[in-house]
Amino acid sequence: GGALGGRELLALAVASGAAAWATWAVLLMPGFRRVPLRLQVPYQPSSPRQVANALALLRGRSGKTVDLGSGDGRLVLEAYKQGLRPALGYELNPWLLCLANYRAWKAGYRGKVSFLKKDLWKVNLSDCHNVIVFLAPSVKPPLATKLLAELPDDARVVAGRFPFPSWSPSSTLGQGLEQVWAYDMKEVRREAQGSVQESRV
C-alpha cells in the first residue's frame, strides 16, 4: 500500500494510545490499588539476559527461593529449572498471576512452583535463602530494612536493574540494564554493624 496520510497516522496514534491505556487499566492497575504510591512498581518483563545473569549469581545454591514482585513468573520458573526448590513468587496483580500459572503449566511445572497473591511487605521471609528482587529504586531502601530484619545470615539477595544503594555487593554480573547484583546477608550485616560502631565513636 501507499504511505499513510495525516488522518491515518492520527487514527493509528489514537488507537495505540487507547490500547496502551486499556492494557494498563485491565492488566496492570489492579495490582496497584492497595499499594502506596511510592512503593508501586510498574510491570516490566525481565529480558532473557537479565534472567540468565540473575540465576548465574544463584548457581550452586540451595534452599527456598522467592521472587518479590514475580510478574509473569519467568524468574521463578528458571530458578526451579536450575534446581532451586521450593521456588515461589509473590505478586499482587491477578492477571499477572494467571499468566505466571499458565507459563508454569505450559512448562510442565504446574504444582511444582507457586505464585501467591500476597503483599511482599506482609510476608515473612525468615525461611528464605535466595531472594530475587527486580523492583524500582524507590522500593529498595524500605525493602533493605525488611530483608535485614528477616533473612537468615546464609541468605543471598539478587537485585536486577537497580542495586541496593546502601549495600556493597558480593558480586555483580552484566552491564547496563542487564546488570545484576548479589548481596550475602552475613556480609551486609557485618558492614552495617561496622557503620553503626563507627558512628558511635
125: CB partners within 8 A, 6+ apart: 66, 131, 146, 147, 150, 151
- Cβ contact 91:31 at 8 Å: yes
Residue 29: what pLDDT?
46
Q: Select the more confidently predicted residue: 179 or 24.
A: 179
Other Cβ atoms closer than 10 A to 142: 13
Report percent pLDDT > 90 for the chain: 70
Q: Examine the pLDDT at 140 and tell me if it is beyond 70.
A: yes
- Name the pTM for this structure: 0.78
Distance, in Å, from the CA atom of 97 to the CA atom of 102, rounded to the nearest integer, reads: 9
Residue 181: what pLDDT?
98
Residue 83: what pLDDT?
96
Residue 46: what pLDDT?
86
Residue type, 165: P
Q: Examine the pLDDT at 173 and tell me if it is beyond 90.
A: yes
For residue range 67-82, list pLDDT tens digits in order. Answer: 999 999 999 999 999 9
Confidence of residue 44 (pLDDT cuts 50, 70, 90): confident
Q: What is the mean pLDDT of residues 41-51?
A: 82
For residue range 8-17, list pLDDT tens digits in order. Answer: 766 665 666 5
Q: Select the more confidently predicted residue: 113 or 177.
A: 113
> What backbone phi and psi angles, to 5 degrees, belong to 198?
-65, -35
Report percent pLDDT > 70 for the chain: 76
- Cβ contact 166:141 at 8 Å: yes
Out of 22-26, 130-134, 142-146, 185-189, pick the least confident: 22-26
